[in-house]
């Protein structure tokens, strides 16, 4: 079984290696931000923002990771940040952290951010298949389930780590090779959604801990994306939380263990005006913002 896993990782590396030498440069958008700042839309025109169906909204690498040569980066409560997942990245914002798409942005983009003294988080999907990604052909039909509500995406059978493991390891390695400081794994709460598979809460915990482990083995910090009901159980494995709409869905209390542990909670609301959540966000020490649902960089209003 181990031999088959290693062989699979090698195949993924061959598939994604061309991405290691993308066109140089980070496109700088000529955008003047609103009073506070921006989110985005995925490559291929796929929308990104919003919770999964549970709330009724649409929701390279060597075969084995190497040990980090440096101390993992940590995000304390109150960390300032900006999130943009497609399009010309807006460099106007002076914040501590940018979260950008790991496939679409070259290593030079990360270097540009680092030169400004800004850290970079690598957005990567883990729990759904995206039909426009360069490694989409590596996912067999057996692991693809129901649509998650966004065009071109399907939930994955996260129980099949012998298949998904090498692909996700390759994605984590891509982030590390480009110089990112952390990974944001998306769609890691399939157990609470209609995926087409009988995924249990225990299956989700196993999968999410696996994602944290491969990030840490490469020297990358890792975010827990949403999954508030498992936040306490996963707190020891993850370095910070990135949540969508916890104020709208009255779930923010479930995320406070991260703050108590000295770990940041990055939070976004898509429909609530800032006057309805910012005061509470400041009390909780959450790094919260209002953003456009399509995450296109057109709206970013931090508290």
**Tokens at residue 34, please?**
């609103």
Q: Which of residues 9 and 83 earns the better pLDDT score?
A: 83
One-character DSSP codes across 246-288: TTTTT-GGGGHHHHHTT--EEEEESSS-GGGTHHHHHHHT-EE
pLDDT of residue 187: 98
pLDDT of residue 54: 34
Gap between the Cα atoms of 46 and 130, Å rounded: 9
What domains sit in the chain, N to C, each tagged with a CATH number? 2-302 (3.20.20.70)
pLDDT in tens, 124-168: 999 999 999 999 999 999 999 999 999 999 999 999 999 999 999
For the chain, give percent helix, strand, coil, nearest 5: 35, 20, 45
Q: Is the distance from CB of 40 to CB of 84 less than 8 angstroms?
A: yes
pLDDT of residue 297: 87
Average pLDDT of every residue of the chain = 83
Sign of the torsion angle spanned by Cα atoms 256, 221, 271, 299: positive
Residue 100 pLDDT more than 50? Answer: yes
One-character DSSP codes across 129-193: EETTSTTGGGS-GGGEEEE-SSTTEEEE-TT-HHHHHHHHHHHHHHHHHTT-SEEEEE---GGGS
pLDDT of residue 16: 52
Residue 28 pLDDT more than 60? Answer: no
Sign of the torsion angle spanned by Cα atoms 34, 40, 43, 45: negative
pLDDT of residue 49: 60
One-character DSSP codes across 186-214: E---GGGS--SS---HHHHHHHHHHHHHH
| Percent share of the chain, pLDDT over 90 | 71
Q: Is the distance from CB of 172 to CB of 65 less than 8 angstroms?
A: yes
């Amino acid at each position: 079984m181990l031999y088959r896993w290693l062989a699979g990782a090698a195949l993924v590396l061959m598939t994604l290696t061309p991405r290691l030498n993308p066109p140089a440069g980070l496109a700088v958008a000529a955008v003047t931000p609103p009073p506070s700042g921006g989110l985005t839309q995925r490559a291929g025109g796929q929308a990104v923002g919003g919770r999964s169906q549970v709330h009724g909204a649409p929701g390279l690498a060597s075969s084995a990771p190497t040990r980090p040569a440096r101390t993992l980066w940590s995000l304390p409560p109150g960390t300032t940040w900006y999130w943009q997942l497609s399009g010309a990245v807006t460099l106007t914002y002076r914040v501590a952290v940018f979260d950008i798409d790991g496939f679409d942005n070259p290593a030079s983009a990360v270097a540009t951010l680092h030169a400004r003294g800004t850290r970079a988080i690598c957005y990567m999907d883990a729990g759904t298949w995206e039909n426009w990604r360069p490694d989409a052909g590596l996912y067999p039909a057996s692991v693809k389930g129901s649509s998650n509500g966004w065009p071109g995406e399907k939930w994955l059978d996260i129980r099949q780590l012998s298949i998904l493991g090498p692909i996700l390891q390759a994605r984590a390695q891509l982030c590390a090779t480009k110089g990112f400081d952390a990974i944001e794994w998306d769609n890691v709460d399939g157990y609470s959604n209609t995926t087409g598979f009988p995924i249990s809460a225990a299956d989700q915990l196993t999968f999410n801990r696996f994602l944290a482990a491969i990030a840490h083995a490469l020297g990358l910090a890792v975010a827990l994306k949403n999954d508030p009901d498992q936040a306490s159980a996963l707190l020891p494995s993850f370095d910070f939380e990135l949540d969508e709409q916890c104020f709208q869905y009255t779930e923010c209390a479930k995320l406070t263990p991260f703050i108590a542990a000295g770990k940041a909670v990055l939070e976004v609301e898509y429909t609530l005006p800032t006057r309805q959540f910012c005061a509470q966000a400041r009390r909780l020490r959450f790094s919260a913002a209002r953003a456009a649902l399509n995450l296109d960089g057109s709206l970013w209003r931090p508290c």
